[in-house]
Amino acid sequence: MTVADVTDNDLVQQLEDLNAIGIALSAEHDSQRLLEMIVISAKTLTHADAGTLYSVTDDGRLKFEIMRTDSLNIAMGGTTGQAIPFESLPLHLPDGKPNRNMVAAYAVLEDATVNIADAYQAQGFDFSGTRQFDARTGYRSTSFLTVPMKNHEGQIIGVLQLINAMDEHTGKIVPFSEANTRLVESLASQAAVALTNHQLIDGLKNLFEAFICLIADAIDAKSPYIGGHCRRVPELTMMLATAVNRVQHGPLQSFQMNASEMDELRIAAWLHDCGKITTPESLMDKATKLSVIYDRIALIAQRFALLKKQGECRMLRQQLQLLQAGKSAEATALQLAHEQWVKILDEDFAFLQEVNKGCELMPAEDQARVRQIANHVLEDAQGQPIPFLTEDEVYNLLIESGTLNAEERQVINHHIVMTIDMLEALPYPKGLQRVPEYAGSHHERMDGKGYPRGLTREQISIPARLMCIADIFEALTSGDRPYKKAKTLSESLEILGQMKLDQHIDPDLFDIFIREKVYLEYAQRYLLPDQMDQVDEAKIPGYVPS
């Protein structure tokens, strides 16, 4: 019995197979596996030995996507990792004429199925490339079935070509039957719809992700002091998430994130600071405590200069009186006292300059000295005493950590509220609905002392806890913060370990961060050479090795 002798039972079975294939094509989400499935399904339906799938490129060529030849054990393209070494086929010749000599191009140009019983006997087509392939491999390309693939708009997006139909009972090469031709045309139509839908979904996804990156880049571009933060946090987040997926023992051994969940976390990480788009640049760029529109330390420098001049004037008047009274020794002592006083003023100003830069924790003695300096007496034009430092200047100079005062910190912290509001306003498809929760929880703490909601560890999902660590470690190691230089690797891990002990971050995730060398993977990619000091994991506070 040949392929042409198809019984009713055979036809019913083929239709059932075609229906099952259509369902499977619609369910496949990976584009490369989808292309492979189209070729393999068509070969199975028609008992063909070989199959090739071409895609129509924007520049009018047919690109080889998938090649399969069972008898030669050839599998190229798709998920095989084996590149197809053949150049794409032009739909038009160099002179602009249609390339009707090549059967795959002809099928596109004429929007027609081409069924050839024997390529070596066919007229009107150039099979020289096929003959060369056969001569090189010992193959015999005989029957061809070439079917254009059209999307829902009637545009041809690809070509499905099958070679050497075989009688399922004798194994002999036979022509493709009319019944099989109709089956392949139906399959090609279903495949084109599935492929188009996949391309549309991919296009929307790519647009969405490009828009996300655009927002992140816009935020980073707002300030030179956070440049790159929105890009580095997703990288570190995914490194840690991958490490958590690897662990096979410990408290998190049963926690796994699939590919879709990993994508959801990655998108949340990209958007974790999107609310900063509403934060004033003046606060994001506040490099010193006294910065507003400009750094007011310059005004204080002028006051110190004026204070010295006023002191010098008083000293000179007193010296004149002493010299007139014949008290030259006392006049000389007065000069020395003034010089000593000027030296103290210079030290005070140098101290304020340093304090103005901000630090992680301002000592109590430094705060007391700021208040003492504020007591210097400066005179106005009428000779009346005025405050040397204003209340606002003292308030800002006494900032204990960083360069932001409480009100400014509140404005900065409000970015997370804006992040949540912005993200919760979006209509998410299934698989992205937890993006607001992940992105909006990266400033929460395990002890409930974080913001904006004051959630405890049990109320924070593991992916959100994971992003907390990524955000903190990136900030510690970053060299672009306005009030601190980049910390070394060991310094950063010591601080992070202390945060574990203080119930700031998740203890189990912290241990994985260290044990799986996530910190080192990130450091090797992003830290400067002078930050890469030796790390003794045994000395990291709170770290519990497995």
Average pLDDT over residues 177-187: 88
- The model's confidence at residue 27, banded by pLDDT at 50, 70 and 90, is low
Q: What residue spans of 382-528 are helical by DSSP H?
A: 391-397, 406-424, 435-439, 462-477, 489-501, 507-515, 518-526
212 belongs to a structural domain? no
Q: Are 194 and 34 in contact (CB under 8 A)?
A: yes
How many C-beta neighbours within 10 Å does residue 459 have? Answer: 13
Are both 237 and 304 inside the same structural domain? Answer: no
Q: Please state, in angstroms and rounded to a whole number, the distance separating the CA atoms of residues 437 and 466.
A: 13
The model's pLDDT over 417-463, given as tens digits with 9 standing for 90+, comes to: 888 998 999 888 888 999 999 999 999 999 999 999 999 999 999 99
3 belongs to a structural domain? no
Query: Tokens 């090549």 label which residue?
Result: 102
Please tell me whether residue 355 adopts helix, strand or coil conformation: helix
What DSSP character marks residue 182? H
Are both 40 and 183 inside the same structural domain? Answer: yes
Asked if the model's pLDDT at residue 104 lies above 50, the reply is yes
Are both 89 and 64 inside the same structural domain? Answer: yes
Percent of the chain surpassing pLDDT 90: 62
Phi then psi for residue 538, to 5 deg, are -65, -20
Distances (CA, A) of 201 to 258, 299, 382, 458: 19, 59, 76, 36
Predicted pLDDT of residue 1: 41
Q: Are 301 and 411 in contact (CB under 8 A)?
A: no
Among residues 199, 191, 154, 201, the alpha carbon closest in space to that of 26 is found at 191
For 267, left (φ over 0), alpha (ψ -120 to 50), or beta? alpha
Predicted pLDDT of residue 220: 72
- The model's confidence at residue 278, banded by pLDDT at 50, 70 and 90, is confident
Among residues 15, 316, 67, the alpha carbon closest in space to that of 179 is found at 15
The alpha carbon of residue 289 and the mean position of all alpha carbons in its chain are separated, in whole angstroms, by 32
Predicted pLDDT of residue 189: 80
The CATH number that applies at residue 466 is 1.10.3210.10
Asked if the model's pLDDT at residue 15 lies above 70, the reply is no
Predicted pLDDT of residue 485: 74
Are both 316 and 345 inside the same structural domain? Answer: yes
455 belongs to a structural domain? yes
Average pLDDT over residues 284-292: 83
Are both 354 and 461 inside the same structural domain? Answer: no
- The model's confidence at residue 7, banded by pLDDT at 50, 70 and 90, is low
Are both 302 and 354 inside the same structural domain? Answer: yes
Cβ partners under 8 Å of residue 400, min gap 6: 361, 362, 367
Average pLDDT over residues 257-281: 89
Average pLDDT over residues 55-64: 92
Predicted pLDDT of residue 375: 94
Q: Which of 199, 232, 254 is the last residue in one of the domains? A: 199
497 belongs to a structural domain? yes
- The model's confidence at residue 360, banded by pLDDT at 50, 70 and 90, is confident
Q: Are 90 and 99 in contact (CB under 8 A)?
A: yes
What is the pairing mode between strands 385-387 and 89-90? unpaired
Percent of the chain surpassing pLDDT 70: 93
How many C-beta neighbours within 10 Å does residue 224 have? Answer: 13
290 belongs to a structural domain? no
Longest Cα–Cα distance in the chain: 138
Q: Which of 184, 199, 214 is the last residue in one of the domains? A: 199
149 belongs to a structural domain? yes
Average pLDDT over residues 368-394: 93
Predicted pLDDT of residue 75: 95
- The model's confidence at residue 412, banded by pLDDT at 50, 70 and 90, is confident
Predicted pLDDT of residue 410: 86
Q: Are 215 and 207 in contact (CB under 8 A)?
A: no
State the total domains in the chain: 3
Average pLDDT over residues 340-349: 96
266 belongs to a structural domain? yes
Are both 323 and 250 inside the same structural domain? Answer: no
Predicted pLDDT of residue 116: 96
Are both 380 and 452 inside the same structural domain? Answer: no
Amino acid, res. 321: Q
List the domain range (segments joined by +) for residue 501.
Answer: 223-271+418-539
The two tokens of residue 252 are: 């998190």
Are both 379 and 457 inside the same structural domain? Answer: no
Range in 177-181, 202-206, 320-324 the model is least confident about: 202-206
The model's pLDDT over 73-101, given as tens digits with 9 standing for 90+, comes to: 999 998 898 999 999 999 999 999 999 99
Range in 201-205, 300-304, 365-369 the model is least confident about: 201-205
The model's pLDDT over 213-235, given as tens digits with 9 standing for 90+, comes to: 888 788 777 766 565 788 899 99
Range in 77-81, 100-104, 345-349, 392-396 the model is least confident about: 77-81
What's the whole-number average pLDDT of the chain?
Answer: 88
Average pLDDT over residues 191-207: 78
Count CA atoms closer than 13 A to 240's CA, side-chain side: 33
Count CA atoms closer than 13 A to 394's CA, side-chain side: 15
Asked if the model's pLDDT at residue 415 lies above 90, the reply is no
Predicted pLDDT of residue 518: 97
Please tell me whether residue 521 adopts helix, strand or coil conformation: helix
Predicted pLDDT of residue 2: 45
- The model's confidence at residue 540, banded by pLDDT at 50, 70 and 90, is very high
Asked if the model's pLDDT at residue 67 lies above 60, the reply is yes
The CATH number that applies at residue 149 is 3.30.450.40
Predicted pLDDT of residue 321: 93
Are both 246 and 104 inside the same structural domain? Answer: no
Q: Which burial class, exposed, middle or buried, applies to 546 when counting CB atoms under 10 A from its CB (0-12, 13-18, 19+)?
A: exposed
Q: Please state, in angstroms and rounded to a whole number, the distance separating the CA atoms of residues 296 and 301.
A: 9
27 belongs to a structural domain? yes
Asked if the model's pLDDT at residue 177 lies above 80, the reply is yes
Predicted pLDDT of residue 443: 93
Are both 322 and 234 inside the same structural domain? Answer: no
Q: Please state, in angstroms and rounded to a whole number, the distance separating the CA atoms of residues 162 and 254.
A: 46
Q: What does the DSSP assignment read for 125-145?
A: S--HHHHHHHHHHT-----EE
Q: What's the pTM value of the predicted model, to 2 decimals?
A: 0.68
What DSSP character marks residue 447? B
Among residues 502, 406, 404, the alpha carbon closest in space to that of 450 is found at 502
Asked if the model's pLDDT at residue 4 lies above 50, the reply is no
The two tokens of residue 529 are: 């050479």
Predicted pLDDT of residue 472: 95
Are both 247 and 306 inside the same structural domain? Answer: no
Q: Are 28 and 20 in contact (CB under 8 A)?
A: no
Average pLDDT over residues 488-493: 95
